[in-house]
Amino acid sequence: MTISITVNGAAHQVVADAETPLLYVLRNDLKLKGARFGCGLGQCGTCTVIVDGKAVQSCDVPVSAVVGKAVTTIEGIRADGGLHPLQQVFIDEQAAQCGYCVTGIIMAAKALLDANPRASDAEIREALARNLCRCGTHQRILRAIHRAADRMAK
């Protein structure tokens, strides 16, 4: 069946079963590789995207569930042709080691900061609870998100 979705501000028509995970449509049909396959169960956060302002795990959401909603991927958050402040501070703070989980973490952090620009450490930790990172850069990630919040407030 043909399904109409809006991703990163652009309308797309995709041919897919209604129950196809959004992640598969993003990666295979739209060729957006930022959201990654991790666990396939919505538990690791590697595939996090923003749907209507909320962070969701795209491996666990059927494409039919986003019809009429705005989907934003890491590819869609660039600011004025450059990096989004979250992307830049993750580089500046060296908050990513292997980088596999980082797009999901950035997307979860963006959804949080868009809703709560002055999030506390506890609120950031809660927002990232579904994002797993094995590299041990958690303090750098927190520092980067706070720095991004400061930059985004200006």
CA distances for 134 relative to 46, 96, 97, 152, angstroms: 12, 10, 9, 28
pLDDT of residue 133: 84
pLDDT of residue 81: 78
pLDDT of residue 55: 97
One digit per residue, the tens of pLDDT, for the chain of length 154 reads 999 999 999 999 999 999 999 999 999 999 999 999 998 888 899 999 999 999 999 999 999 999 999 999 999 998 787 899 999 999 999 998 888 889 999 999 999 999 999 999 999 999 999 998 888 788 999 999 999 999 888 7
pLDDT of residue 68: 97
Residue 80 lies in a domain: no
Question: Last residue of some domain: 74, 108, 132?
Answer: 74
Q: Are residues 96 and 56 in the same domain?
A: no
Give the gyration radius of the chain's Cα atoms: 15
Q: Are residues 61 and 112 in the same domain?
A: no
**Domain with 34 in it:** 2-74
Nearest to 11 by CA among 69, 73, 64, 50: 69
Rounded CA-CA distance 36/32 in Å is 9
Q: Are residues 60 and 112 in the same domain?
A: no
- Residues 6+ away with beta carbon under 8 Å from 18: 1, 3, 62, 63, 64
Rounded CA-CA distance 108/99 in Å is 15
Residue 79 lies in a domain: no
Rounded CA-CA distance 69/153 in Å is 26
pLDDT of residue 125: 94
Question: Last residue of some domain: 46, 74, 102?
Answer: 74
The pTM assigned to this predicted structure is: 0.94
Residue 105 lies in a domain: yes
Q: Are residues 104 and 59 in the same domain?
A: no
Number of domains in the chain: 2
Q: Are residues 69 and 91 in the same domain?
A: no
